[in-house]
Chain A
């Protein structure tokens, strides 16, 4: 049973380019969460999605960042016109959202470096 998959593992972009990060949740999980980890910091919540719905994007920067979780395919976190401050590790987690189990299972992360 494959865990949460994220790709690419490492992504290098120049300032002004677009970054697309992909996340495939665990089988049977329909809830996806994105977190960002800046250097020397803990993870910070960005967005929570279900299939075709954004449930909570309160942690997302208002500009340049967007996320989707289509009916088919992986969840995508998109960063337009990247800046150096976007350099971070981006983690995706998924859950079955069972009431009795709040656990979120994390992927290996994508390390974004903006030159």
Chain B
């Protein structure tokens, strides 16, 4: 079974600064996907960024980037130029690669509550 650990229950960052959220995971799979989801106070789950395990290049989406360390099973999210609208819960999630039982199940960490301070 896969597990996802987010060791920072809460974090805060000044507006316009950079913050990094940590995520580690445990799996015996070689082919998988990793995701970061954002859950603002509205509770809607919004995909922020995704990484395929077979890709060595770290994914980037505008102000959001990841540091994917496959050997260390680490998948951190960096938010640059933080904005007030980034205030939310952030969940790291794992999905097995496209084969076999459970390859469609997302396994989530417990989340990190990020507050952006004006």
15 residue pairs from A and B, CB less than 8 Å apart: A33-B104, A33-B105, A33-B106, A42-B4, A42-B91, A45-B106, A45-B107, A56-B102, A56-B104, A56-B105, A58-B102, A95-B104, A99-B98, A109-B44, A111-B43
**Would you call B105 and A106 a contact (CB within 8 A)?**
no
Interface on A for B, CB 8 Å cutoff? 31, 33, 35, 40-45, 48, 55-56, 58-59, 89, 91, 93, 95, 97, 99, 102-109, 111
**Shortest 9 CB-CB distances between A and B: which pairs?**
A42-B108, A106-B45, A45-B105, A43-B108, A108-B44, A42-B110, A109-B43, A102-B33, A42-B91
Chain B residues with a Cβ closer than 8 Å to the other chain, count:
25
Contacts of B102 in A (CB 8 A): 56, 58
Q: How far, in Å, is A65 (CB) from chain B's closest CB?
A: 17
Contact with A along B25-36 (1 / 0, CB 8 A): 000000001010
Interface on B for A, CB 8 Å cutoff? 4, 33, 35, 37, 42-47, 50, 91, 93, 95, 98, 101-102, 104-111
Q: A44-B108, A45-B105 are in contact. Are A91 and B45 (CB under 8 A)?
A: yes
Contacts of A59 in B (CB 8 A): 105
Please measure, in the bound complex, the distance between the C-alpha atom of A103 and the C-alpha atom of B98, giving whole angstroms: 12
CB < 8 Å neighbour of B45 from A43, A95, A99: A43
Please measure, in the bound complex, the distance between the C-alpha atom of A95 and the C-alpha atom of B93, giving whole angstroms: 16
